[in-house]
Amino acid sequence: MDPGFKVFAPASVANVACGYDILGFALDKPGDEIIARTSNTPGLRITKITGSQKKLPYEVEKNTAGFAALKLLEHLGEEKRGVEMEIHKKMPFGSGLGSSAASAAGAVMAINELMGRPLTKRELLPFAVLGEQVADGSYHADNVAPSLLGGMIFIRDNASLDVHRLPFIRGLRVAVVYPHIEILTRDSRNILSDQVTLNNTIQQTGNLGGLIVGLYNGNFDLISRSLNDVIIEPQRAQLIPHFYQVKEAALKEGAMGCSISGAGPSIFALCHNSLEAENAGQAMQKTFIDNGIECDLFLSSINQEGAFLC
Ligand code: HSE
């Protein structure tokens, strides 16, 4: 049998406090693995899904990885080609770590390899975003783009996928805690008010600009002052028990900033170095555990590579 290609696509932290739907960065781990190989049966089929507590659909059109792969095959005029795909979920679903995005990113990269790599990673992005859209109904690339391309990504406009990689600062580390509560992105989006005050808009755009300038200049204090979300976090914090206590624990350890990862319930802290990330991570994890909530801790750099062939 054709062994095919296996791709690892990493988890990601979307929003990064002040960039709802327009900022995200990739983590080293966890992540999903996607295998694509040729088959004698015409058409795309999902033949295996492992590692998901939730029953994910085998129907290609209903599956984030399947739909992304299908759209790419259609674009390449290869939708009749026999292709089978395996999805190995290695990260929690509904965690705020971009699980569906990682599957979609991994799928398009694995299919692209199988087809002889006709497209660049950047050209694969629209197909992966279409896959992610199956999960929550909206077209945003703040998880998919970093998972596929790596780095910290700023999206000026989601519709046209005007995406830009922000500078890498050596030494920056991230602690992410995942409390074992499931929040569906769709639900977490639905609670948001579509009204934003002028004052909050001014503050949030100031923070977004500050974060970007801080990354370009390597100005940690500016990054730290800018990692504040005055619009989304106050609305979503209620979904995560003890959120403010956990945030306080990270900031007490010196973290540059701490906020909800994507739609939650995971919480990330951006840190000056790995020791601070360990201390902040352990303090956040302990706060959840002391409150009777099981919780995993992930320590990571900002992964510059994104999805890769393994
Ligand atoms: N920007 C998205 C949100 C990320 O916060 O809803 C999760 O898909």
Specify the CATH number for the domain of residue 275: 3.30.70.890
pTM, two decimals, is: 0.96
Asked if residue 14 belongs to a domain, the reply is: yes
In whole angstroms, give the CA distance from residue 171 to residue 300: 11
Q: Whose CA is nearest to atom 6 of ligand 1?
A: 263
160 in the same domain as 31:
yes
275 in the same domain as 200:
yes
216 in the same domain as 119:
no
Backbone phi and psi for residue 57, each to the nearest 5 degrees, phi listed first: -70, 140
Per-residue pLDDT of the chain (310 residues), as tens digits, is: 688 999 999 999 999 999 999 999 999 999 999 999 999 999 999 999 999 777 889 999 999 999 999 999 999 999 999 999 999 999 888 899 999 999 999 999 999 999 999 999 999 999 999 999 998 888 999 999 999 999 999 999 999 999 999 999 989 999 999 999 988 888 899 999 999 999 999 999 999 999 999 999 999 999 999 999 999 999 999 999 999 999 999 999 999 999 999 999 999 999 999 999 999 999 999 999 999 999 999 999 999 999 999 9
Answer with the one of 145, 166, 187 that is the final residue of a domain.
166
Question: What's residue 257's pLDDT?
Answer: 98
- CATH number, domain of 20, equals 3.30.230.10
Asked if residue 127 belongs to a domain, the reply is: yes
185 is catalytic: yes
Residue 10 preceded by cis peptide, ω within 30: no
Asked if residue 310 belongs to a domain, the reply is: no
Which are the contacts of 189, defined by CB distance < 8 A and separation ≥ 6? 136, 138, 263
Question: What's residue 3's pLDDT?
Answer: 87
Ligand 1 mean position to 115 CA, how many Å? 31
212 in the same domain as 119:
no
Instruction: Please give the tally of structural domains in the chain.
Output: 2
45 in the same domain as 28:
yes
Q: Whose CA is nearest to atom 1 of ligand 1?
A: 21
187 in the same domain as 162:
no
180 in the same domain as 268:
yes
Question: What's residue 240's pLDDT?
Answer: 97
Asked if residue 257 belongs to a domain, the reply is: yes
Answer with the one of 166, 197, 220 that is the final residue of a domain.
166
Catalytic hit among 33, 84, 86, 132: 132
Asked if residue 308 belongs to a domain, the reply is: no
Asked if residue 309 belongs to a domain, the reply is: no
132 is catalytic: yes
Answer with the one of 125, 146, 166 that is the final residue of a domain.
166
The closest-lying atom of ligand 1 relative to the alpha carbon of residue 263 is 5
154 in the same domain as 9:
yes
36 in the same domain as 113:
yes
Q: Whose CA is nearest to atom 4 of ligand 1?
A: 262
266 in the same domain as 130:
no
Instruction: Give the residues surrounding ligand 1 with Cβ less than 6 Å away.
Output: 14-15, 20-21, 136, 140, 142-143, 185, 188-189, 262-263
Please, what sign has the CA dihedral across residues 119, 122, 123, 129?
A: positive
Domain that includes residue 218, residue range: 173-301
Ligand 1 mean position to 306 CA, how many Å? 18
153 in the same domain as 178:
no
Ligand 1 mean position to 224 CA, how many Å? 22
The closest-lying atom of ligand 1 relative to the alpha carbon of residue 14 is 4
225 in the same domain as 206:
yes
Question: What's residue 77's pLDDT?
Answer: 97
Ligand 1 mean position to 38 CA, how many Å? 34
Asked if residue 27 belongs to a domain, the reply is: yes
Asked if residue 45 belongs to a domain, the reply is: yes
85 token code pair: 């795909």
